[in-house]
Structure 1
Amino acid sequence: MNKNISILGCGWLGKPLAIKLIEGGFSVKGSTTSISKFDEFKNLGISPFLISLENIAIEIKEFLTSEILIVALPSKNIEGFKKLIQFIEKSPVKKVLFISSTSVYVSNNNVVNEFSELQDIPLVAIENLLIKNKAFDTTIVRFAGLFGYDRKPGNFFKNGRTIPNPEGFVNMIHQDDCISILEKIIETNLWNTIFNACADTHPTRRAYYIKTKADLGNEPPVFAKAENTVFKIISNEKIKSILNYKFKYSDLMSFNYGSYDI
């Protein structure tokens, strides 16, 4: 396998992923929109590039001199992705790993899998641009709500903010599981497919935020009046079966969210 990887978006998820890939022997190029991060990236062994999807320039050609491109951007800029794809088509990139979100699914008050109904939103359009392109292979990973380390759910609703839909169910995934899953996709060479990635358990929003706030010693949560509960429960069966993956943080109610190590 070619050991060169480019990560477009070395932020909360992309940076620790880059660190793990470097530990695994990969040479990693990483993008940021802030030149002030260059020294940090270099110290971590990441080759830094200043790239903005909103203003892609010719410099992205050098960034794309890798076999695998991982896209870890929150941007929903369809036109920016169209321009990016034009550069990918002319580059050495043969495989794209696109980090998406389970927010693409319609809330149908049921369990949803990779074949369930999708919303008509920009993220779905971007997924389609990538997966339908025959110039490169694409795998899409739809992550549930992200948490871990400095991103603690007990801090999500602060200062008395009302938490809506309290009897709905949460779909969450820890940063460690995200990184392990992405690593395993690369290791096993699984392309041209779509995966949901989500912890095994789905407590109600009421139970989850009562616990996560209490674990941090924060104020008790304030919930909206429960009316017309709308939810979706994300199935992770495909990724567990095909990748033979066992989640590190599988039971969302079984650990203390106040721990500095979580």
Structure 2
Amino acid sequence: MHKFDISILGSGWLGLPLIRFFHDTYGLQVAASTRQLHRFPELESAGALPFRLDVTAPAKHELTAFLNGPILIINITCKDVAAFAQLAKHIAESPVSTVLLISSSSVYRNLNRVVTEDEGAENPDNALFQIEQCFRAESGFKTTILRCSGLVDQRRHPGRFFQHGKAVPQADAPTNLIHLDDVIGMIDCIIQQQFWGDVFNACSDTHPTKKIFYSFASACLNLPPPNFDDQTIPAWKQVSNDKIKHQLGYRLIHPDLLKSGLNDD
């Protein structure tokens, strides 16, 4: 059975650049999953051995072969808590010793203030938070969780998010966003420093209001500004990134998305 340096569950907007990064930067043996057979040539071209996997109904022999290595990055949007709980049990019986679970800052409640990783600000009914708990409870491997804010780059440009007449809600609320370059940088930082068994937020330094940010993002693409809903009662959070900067010494590539990352690539 082929042994991998790293396995990446989910090969979409984040997973595909991750494959290229680990293959091109370190020459690693990468396994990557997709639910679609037609994507196999694309994943092979990026430098991965592809596997067809669906976390809600995985073929056991495929899953066993896919999990044949020390590091697993989980990067899929599925919110099926029971499926992830079952996956965690499979991982515990595999050669995987460390898991990096890509989660979301949406696990935090809207408290109209800054929120951090270690204060208990999560919504216990949030499916992603429940999935996090499944993995943190497993003793057969160590899990670090990276809670990403809204993911952006030139391909996933926020200037297109609210076109076609869709109004931006809570126009005066702060934005919580992170550039693809920094998500990859943070993942690499965690793995290189072997910082397992913890939780980190992934967010840029600045939090301009939605009105300021999405007007700027639209202008970057020479598009008119979107419509804004100024009437909604505020319900927001501002996600802190202090922990990953202080504990791991991570320096953001795009700390201020109004200055770089969207209009200069």
Which bin holds the TM-score, normalised by the shorter protein?
Answer: over 0.9
1:220 lines up with 2:222 in the alignment = no
Q: 1: distance between equivalents of 2:260 and 2:7?
A: 34
SS of structure 2 residue aligned to 1:26: coil
Structure 2 vs 1, CA of residues 60 and 192 (structure 1 numbering), >3 Å: closer, same or farther?
Answer: same
Match of 1:85 among 75, 84, 88: 88
Once the two structures are superposed, residues 186-239 of structure 1 have per-residue CA deviations (whole angstroms, 9 ceiling, x without a partner) of 111000000011000000001001111111111221011334222111110000
1:71-220 to structure 2, matched below 5 A, reads 71-116=74-119, 117-119=121-123, 120-220=125-225
1:16 lines up with 2:21 in the alignment = no
Once the two structures are superposed, residues 38-93 of structure 1 have per-residue CA deviations (whole angstroms, 9 ceiling, x without a partner) of 11111222000000112111121000001011000111011111221121111100
What number of residue pairs does the alignment pair up?
259
Higher mean C-alpha deviation, range 19-28 or range 188-197: 19-28
Checking the alignment, whether the CA contact within 8 Å between 1:56 and 1:83 is kept in structure 2 is: no
CA drift of 1:258 comes to 4.3
Q: TM-score, normalised by structure 1?
A: 0.96
Q: 1: distance between equivalents of 2:154 and 2:19?
A: 17
**Two-structure CA RMSD over aligned residues (Å):** 1.3
- Please name the residue that 1:62 is paired with: 65
Q: 1: distance between equivalents of 2:80 and 2:232?
A: 34
Question: Aligned partner of 2:172: which letter?
Answer: E
Question: Aligned partner of 1:40: which letter?
Answer: E
Once the two structures are superposed, residues 153-198 of structure 1 have per-residue CA deviations (whole angstroms, 9 ceiling, x without a partner) of 0000121111100010001000000001101111110000000110
1:33-48 to structure 2, matched below 5 A, reads 33-48=35-50
Question: Aligned partner of 2:9: which letter?
Answer: L
Q: Which runs of 4+ in 1 moved over 6 A?
A: none
1:233-244 to structure 2, matched below 5 A, reads 233-244=238-249
Checking the alignment, whether the CA contact within 8 Å between 1:177 and 1:247 is kept in structure 2 is: yes
Match of 1:26 among 25, 28, 45: 28
1:248 lines up with 2:253 in the alignment = yes
Q: 2: distance between equivalents of 1:225 and 1:158?
A: 17
Checking the alignment, whether the CA contact within 8 Å between 2:174 and 2:236 is kept in structure 1 is: yes
Unaligned ranges ≥5, structure 2: none
Structure 2 vs 1, CA of residues 256 and 92 (structure 1 numbering), >3 Å: closer, same or farther?
Answer: closer
SS of structure 1 residue aligned to 2:156: coil
